[in-house]
Chain A
């Protein structure tokens, strides 16, 4: 069964800590994404990557960075965690659309609920 795996389901960190969230997919997908999900705000894109070592900012990149050294792994880094980064973080992956392809929906991981205290 294909999947996206996030390294931690729950995480508690202290303000100012550097936090790494890891995501691995086994579907050979080119695209990978990091979202955060907050009540009333829906899914907001932080960063995405369309190839190894390539990345683009999403809608809310401030306070975050990413790393994609291998195709299957996309890491989200909180440089100095703050309480307003307490959230559910969701990783997703997808294929790049190709002619004749009709299914390139996102596959999401189970999420990491991060609490910054």
Chain B
């Protein structure tokens, strides 16, 4: 079945440093989504990418979808303590029922 691998598993940074998490799928994706889960919270939808090579920005967050639609990345510029949490990617291979396969997530901790 479809697998979505995410690296790194953990990342600790100093406040102000940049952070990147990478997501790779074993199959071509029709779209990819990113979620953030704060400690003790539930996953919250951040963004969806659909087009090959697509790049989207949300303030300090930049999301990319690979040309082959099999990989994606999330880059945070100048991290802040509010960025702490686990970031998940989730891919969909198509089909009518829209079932996502989630990566295991990257836990980001930020030292103030």
Binding site for B on A (CB under 8 A): 31, 33, 35, 40-43, 45, 48, 50, 56, 58-59, 90, 92, 94, 96-97, 102-111
Closest to A35 in B: B102
A109 to B33, CA, bound (A): 18
Query: Contact at A111–B42, with CB atoms within 8 Å?
Result: yes
Main SS class of interface, B: loop
In the assembled complex, how far is the CB of residue A9 from the closest CB belonging to chain B, in whole angstroms? 11
Bound complex: CA A89 to CA B12 (Å)? 27
When the two chains form their complex, are residues A42 and B88 in contact, meaning their CB atoms are under 8 A apart?
yes
B-to-A contact residues, CB < 8 Å: 1, 33, 35, 41-45, 48, 50, 88, 90, 96-105
The chain A residue sitting closest to B102, CB to CB, is A43
In the complex the two chains form, what is the Cα distance from A45 to B2 in whole Å? 13
Residues of chain B lying within 8 A (CB to CB) of residue A96: 96-98
**CB contact under 8 A between A108 and B43, given known A41-B104, A43-B102, A103-B48:** yes
A59 to B45 Cα, complex, angstroms:
22
Instruction: Say whether A106 contacts B100, CB under 8 Å.
Output: yes
In the assembled complex, which residues on chain B have CB atoms less than 8 Å from the CB atom of A90? 42-43
A78 to chain B, nearest CB (A): 20
Contact A42 B104 (CB under 8 A): yes
Which residues of A have CB within 8 Å of B102?
Answer: 35, 42-43
Given A40-B104, A103-B48, A105-B33, A45–B43 Cβ distance below 8 Å?
no
